Amino acid sequence: HSLDKGEYRHFMLKEIHEQPAAIANTLEGTLGEDHVLTAVLGPEAETRLKDIQNIHIVACGTSYHAGLVARYWIEEQAGLPCQVEVASEYRYRQVAVPANTLLIAISQSGETADTLAALRYAKQQGYLASLAICNVAGSSLVREADWRLLTKAGPEIGVASTKAFTTQLVALLWMTTALAQVNDRAPEMISANVRALKGLPRLVEKVLHLDQHIEELAATFASKHHALFLGRGPHYPIAMEGALKLKEISYIHAEAYAAGELKHGPLALVDENMPVVSVAPSDSLLEKLNSNLQEVRARGGQLINFACERAELDNGEGSIHLSLPWVYESVSPIVYTLPLQLLSYRVALVKGTDVDKPRNLAKSVTVE
Ligand code: G6P
């Protein structure tokens, strides 16, 4: 039953382990052989997909991080300009809306006050339409948006969002692929995305086995007061999400940087008391990331690399290396999220904080 912890010590751990099933449920009935089934969006949305020329995304917290990943996907794969903003800023400024822009509001609960207000504001701004990506079918956001795409993560009880985030990413990659499809982008890319999405539940299951190794390094981490998270490209928002998770449940101050920005300030903080976590898939930016990591090592920083087993990272003294299986580029941000969730969970356990109900935070912020 989704409302009890079963064999798990915390809802958060249970929800981390539910991700293979949550992803499979979200994808059920949405994929064809080598294309996505755009009819899932409903007849009105399906016919208007090809009119979309611009995307604006609004959300809060973890859902905002999902939007940031989607921007990399949408601009690269669908060729459409995309902007992403936290709902609390968006709702109070004068937004310039180009013709034929789709507004996407992302929310686990569909009841977050700022996100709902952003949607209501957007409805007065001449958008082509609004789309809610949401985990609660009967929520206010879903009722008020023109179109909907539901994540099927099931109830999420832990305040720190886990399975809702990865299923949001799945929905957003699906949406990117739908937009690529109606814009006649490379069919090989579309079919590769479909294949990668289908293989995702199994891959995610495999990555959960890293938990044992992560548990071993949690103790050293728990005595630290600060941490840096680094990533590049779509893995930069994944680093942001990793830092947010650590802050939320272990109360360790963590910040994420795009790895290329390290030399513009945060490098001054690096010493042996500053663990640096890097997200290092085997992509076109790996070499660049590697030289960023050497800068950290040269300053005595403790490096923890979550890296592709095929990545040739310079493995100097003082680095801890955790290998992930090779994954197709599009789904890589989803896969690399899991070890970061586990890291924050294991560190919080060592610290003895209230994992499922962190101090000062609410699962759903329904007042401003
Ligand atoms: C709260 C929760 C976060 C969540 C954010 C947005 O701050 O603690 O985990 O990411 O709200 O919630 P939503 O339901 O809109 O995704």
> Which two three-digit tokens encode residue 135?
């985990």
Taking only the tens of pLDDT, the chain with its 368 residues reads: 567 899 999 999 999 999 999 999 999 999 999 999 999 999 999 999 999 999 999 999 999 999 999 999 999 999 999 999 999 999 999 999 999 999 999 999 999 999 999 999 999 999 999 999 999 999 999 999 999 999 999 999 999 999 999 999 999 999 999 999 999 999 999 999 999 999 999 999 999 999 999 999 898 889 999 999 999 999 999 999 999 999 999 999 999 999 999 989 888 999 889 999 999 887 777 888 788 888 888 888 889 999 988 877 766 677 888 999 999 999 999 999 999 999 999 999 999 999 999 999 999 999 88
Instruction: Tell the residue number behind the tokens 């680094």, with chain if given.
Output: 230
Q: Please give the Cα distance from 246 to 12 (Å, whole number).
A: 13
**59 Cα nearest atom in ligand 1:** 15
Vertex 224, ends 218 and 226: CA angle to 5°?
115
Collapsing DSSP to helix, strand or coil, 166 comes out as helix
ipTM of the complex: 0.98
Which of 112, 246, 368 is the pocket-test mutation for ligand 1 (most atoms within 8 Å of CB)?
112
CB burial readout 151-190, b (16+ within 10 A) else e: bbbbebbbbbbbbbbbbbbbbbbbbbbbbbbbeebeeebb
Question: Edge-to-edge strands of the sheet including 253-258?
Answer: 253-258, 226-231, 275-280, 302-308, 319-324
Residue nearest to atom 11 of ligand 1 (CA): 364
For 91-111, letters b (16+ CB in 10 Å) and e give beeebeeeeebbbbbbbbbbb
SS3 358: coil
- Measured CA to CA, the distance from residue 66 to residue 168 in angstroms comes to 6
Residues labelled catalytic: 363
Instruction: Please report the pLDDT score of residue 1 as a whole number.
Output: 59
Mark out the alpha helices in 33-152 (DSSP H runs). 43-48, 61-73, 87-90, 113-122, 140-144
What residue owns the CA closest to ligand 1's atom 5? 61
The pLDDT value given to residue 314: 67
Number of H helices, E strands in the chain: 13, 10
pLDDT score recorded for residue 264: 93
Residue whose pair of structure tokens reads 């690269």 in the numeric block: 76
DSSP 7: T
Taking a C-beta distance cutoff of 8 angstroms, is the pair 355, 158 a contact?
yes
Identify the residue whose C-alpha is closest to ligand 1 atom 3.
61
The residue whose two tokens read 């459409």 is 80
Pairwise CA distance, residues 160 & 146, whole Å: 28
Tell how far the Cα of 200 is from the centroid of ligand 1, in angstroms. Answer: 24
Question: What's the mean per-residue pLDDT of the chain?
Answer: 94
Cα(167) to ligand 1 centroid in Å equals: 14
Atom of ligand 1 nearest to the CA of 361: 8
Q: How far is the CA of 315 from the centre of ligand 1 (A)?
A: 37
At 95 the pLDDT is: 97
